[in-house]
Amino acid sequence: MRRDTDVSALLDWHARSPGLTPSALVFHASRCGSTLIAQLLASQARNIVLSEPPPLDNLLRAARQDPSAAAWQADALRALCSAYARCLEHLRRIIADGAVSRRASGVSLS
């Protein structure tokens, strides 16, 4: 089942509840060792690693497809990154507390 969230709904939710701000984003070109970096970062429980999530990719390309998207693109990117961090925050705490390991739970942060 595919889930779609309207950008205006994402921005409204973020305005009411800003959540977490990413401490870093890694953008890269192909064949530069980014998979290795992602795996190294994911090996530490304190990091949340998302490899090419489609909604983020769609937002990054939004202004290319519709120039008017440039007006809200940066805010939408902030809101989406905050949502990703918030949704995974409880999982990060569980892993950090040692209650469950990524391998045992079948959950991958990358």
**pLDDT (tens digit, 9 = 90+) per residue, 15-38?**
998 877 777 777 776 778 888 888
Q: How many residues does the chain have?
A: 110
pTM of the complete model: 0.66
- Whole-number Cα distances in Å, 61 to 48, 57, 98: 23, 6, 38
User: 68-95: per-residue pLDDT in tens?
Assistant: 999 999 999 989 888 887 766 655 554 4
- In this structure, which amino acid lies at residue 77? L
What CA–CA distance (Å, rounded) separates 26 from 28? 6
- Whole-number Cα distances in Å, 52 to 3, 92, 96: 17, 19, 24
